[in-house]
């Protein structure tokens, strides 16, 4: 019959495509199966879903096209995954794009996350510079370390323990994490310390007999003129003398 001949002359959408439309007159009505679906038959009005946790490219024609999705750190179509480049990352599974690392963070290739650069620590989603008195030498999201006793650091985002400066001779600092050289404590008058980076007031020694220290923070004591007594350097009383020793 005419109707049968007409139906027989209708062309089929090929495998991997489908059409929900009736009375279609152009091949454009055949749409590719969406990613995550497939169709192995022709003349189909829908596509089949891939098995759970499997993905497929658009226009897939077989359940064998349903593959494991790209893991975190990799991007691309199933079965054609490529690693994210250094300086980028991809946190989730799938065919999504790799993202650029945020400011002050870095990554090697194929990473699911970026890590903070030396001198920076993670606070939420941001890498912030270490505060004064602290430093961080490694790549990672760990905390910044404190400069030890006897040292201070007045810079931000320091990336090495060598950035911590030592208190000068004549001063000491028992606490850690100091952010200014002004926190170094001077030895009291009459005492001195020749050591740098001293961590205790015990480093301040009393001036030897015959010497004195008239200022705080001394690294050495001054010899009394022609005398062997401590400050104040007293003159011998009348009727007495002291031979010159220097």
State how far the Cα of 127 lies from the Cα of 200, in Å rounded to an integer.
35
Query: pLDDT tens digit string along 110-137?
Result: 999 999 999 999 999 999 999 999 999 9
> What span, in angstroms and rounded, lies between the C-alpha atoms of 87 and 71?
18
Confidence of residue 230 (pLDDT cuts 50, 70, 90): very low
Q: For the chain, what is the mean pLDDT?
A: 90
Q: Give the Å distances, CA to CA, from 70 to 42, 77, 244.
A: 29, 7, 90
pLDDT at 234: 58
Q: What is the pLDDT of residues 146-192, one digit of tens each?
A: 999 999 999 999 999 999 999 999 999 999 999 999 999 999 999 99
Q: What is the spatial distance between Cα 160 and Cα 50, in angstroms, rounded to a whole number?
A: 52
DSSP assignment letter at 94 = S
Could you say which DSSP state residue 64 is in? G
């Amino acid at each position: 019959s005419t109707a049968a001949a007409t139906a027989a002359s209708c062309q089929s959408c090929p495998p991997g495509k489908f059409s929900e439309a009736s009375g279609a007159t152009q091949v454009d009505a055949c749409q590719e199966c969406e990613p995550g679906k497939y169709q192995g038959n022709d003349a189909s009005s829908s596509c089949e879903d891939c098995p759970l946790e499997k993905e497929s490219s658009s226009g897939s024609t077989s359940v064998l096209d349903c593959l494991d999705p790209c893991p975190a750190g990799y991007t691309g179509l199933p079965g054609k995954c490529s690693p994210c480049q250094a300086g980028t990352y991809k946190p989730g599974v799938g065919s999504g794009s790799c993202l650029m690392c945020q400011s002050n963070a870095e990554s090697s290739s194929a990473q699911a996350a970026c890590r903070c650069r030396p001198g920076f620590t993670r606070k939420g989603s941001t890498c912030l510079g270490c505060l004064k008195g602290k430093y961080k030498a490694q790549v990672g999201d760990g905390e910044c370390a404190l400069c030890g006793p006897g040292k201070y650091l007045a810079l931000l985002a320091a990336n090495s323990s060598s950035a911590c400066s030592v208190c000068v001779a004549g001063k000491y600092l028992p606490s850690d994490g100091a952010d200014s050289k002004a926190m170094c404590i001077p030895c009291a008058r009459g005492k001195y310390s020749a050591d740098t980076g001293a961590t205790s007031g015990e480093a301040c020694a009393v001036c030897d007999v015959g010497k004195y220290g008239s200022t705080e923070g001394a690294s050495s004591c001054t010899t009394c003129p022609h005398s062997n007594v401590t400050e104040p350097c007293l003159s011998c009383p009348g009727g007495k003398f002291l031979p010159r020793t220097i």
